[in-house]
Amino acid sequence: MRPVLIYDGDCGFCTTSVGVVQRLVRPRCEAVAWQHADLAALGVTAERARYEALWVTPAGRVYGGAQAVAKTLLSAGGLWSVVGAVLRLPPARWAAHGVYRLVADHRGRLPGGTAACTDVRRPCLRPLTSGSWPPAEHAGRLHRRLHLHHPMGRRPFSGLSRRRPGQPRR
Residue 47: predicted pLDDT: 93
- Report how far residue 51's alpha carbon sits from residue 93's, in angstroms, rounded to the nearest whole number: 19
Residue 125, classed as helix, strand or coil, is: helix
**DSSP bridge pairs for 64:** 54
Residue 170: predicted pLDDT: 60
- Report how far residue 71's alpha carbon sits from residue 64's, in angstroms, rounded to the nearest whole number: 10
- Report how far residue 95's alpha carbon sits from residue 106's, in angstroms, rounded to the nearest whole number: 17
Residue ranges of the domains in the chain? 4-119, 122-157
Q: Considering only CA atoms, give the Rg of the chain.
A: 18
Residue 89, classed as helix, strand or coil, is: coil
- Report how far residue 32's alpha carbon sits from residue 53's, in angstroms, rounded to the nearest whole number: 10
Residue 18: predicted pLDDT: 95
Residue 107: predicted pLDDT: 86
Per the CB < 8 A criterion, the answer to whether 24 and 2 are in contact is no
- Report how far residue 147's alpha carbon sits from residue 140's, in angstroms, rounded to the nearest whole number: 10
Give the pTM: 0.68
Residues (pLDDT < 50) of the chain are 121-132, 136-139, 141-158, 160
Residue 71: predicted pLDDT: 97
Residue 142: predicted pLDDT: 47
- Report how far residue 107's alpha carbon sits from residue 52's, in angstroms, rounded to the nearest whole number: 11
Residue 169: predicted pLDDT: 64
Per the CB < 8 A criterion, the answer to whether 7 and 21 are in contact is no
Residue 59: predicted pLDDT: 95
Residue 85: predicted pLDDT: 97
